[in-house]
Amino acid sequence: MPQTDSAMDDLRSVALELGYAPSDSSLCALVQWAELVVQWRAAAQLTGLRTGAAIIGELMVPALYALPLLPSGPGFHVVDYGCGSGSSGVALAAVVGHGRWTLVDQDEKKVTFCRYAQARCGIAGVEIATPKEAVSASLACDAALARALPSQGAAIVQAAALLREGGSVLRWVIGENRPLDGPTVQCGASSLWVVSQPRECFT
């Protein structure tokens, strides 16, 4: 499928631009995940996007711009809180290729989808949890992805509460709305930016 091939090339290109060289098998796993999102999109209310290429281009590629803001070194832990289809978290996990990645969502249908997709795609280091499971497991993470969460409200506070001391919440915001403090990275030539903010901003 030419559109999917082009979207996969975009994934590879952005990853290389940011200093990562994902394997073909990792990129193929992301394409498979995107195709599963399309198959489950209506039943699990995952997204309004209708093609795998759109999911890769609009969800996975922008997620990769968080790479410079992620913790470095072995053994780090990232939680994708309010993960929805899981596309942001798995895109980063597949490209980085190490670390621990936990997808968390309060919607049981989305959790069920992510567990099914992970069983099919087998992206290394990825696990799935509900918020209750995350709290009971005392998940302590170095960064929390909060792409789908508003900047205020209970969910983002819950995400920040999982952070270790010194951890950060990563949000994707339109440029005109981005905070002036904290590291930011522009998502290519778009108006979308990734912002890293300490947990103190939300607790």
Tens digit of each residue's pLDDT (9 = 90 or more) over 113-153 = 999 999 999 999 999 999 999 877 777 899 999 998 988 89
Separation between Cα atoms, residue 48 and residue 18, nearest integer Å: 28
Strands 184-186 and 126-129: unpaired
Interatomic CA distance for residues 30 and 17, integer angstroms? 18
Q: What does pLDDT average to over the chain? A: 92
More confident of the two residues 42 and 2: 42
pLDDT, one tens digit per residue, over 18-67 is 999 999 999 999 999 999 999 999 999 999 999 999 999 999 999 999 99
pTM: 0.94
Could you read off the pLDDT of 158-190 as tens digits, one per residue?
999 999 999 999 999 998 888 777 899 999 989
Helix or strand run (H / E) with residue 126? strand 126-129
Residue whose pair of structure tokens reads 């087998």 in the numeric block = 122
pLDDT (0 to 100) of residue 75:
85
Of residues 197, 79, 86, 202, the one with CA closest to residue 145: 79
Q: Where are the alpha helices (DSSP H) in the chain?
A: 2-17, 24-40, 52-55, 61-64, 87-96, 108-121, 131-136, 154-161
Give, in degrees to the nearest 5, the angle at Cα 167 between 172 and 156. 50
For the chain, which domains are there? 2-201 (3.40.50.150)
Mean pLDDT of 189-198: 94
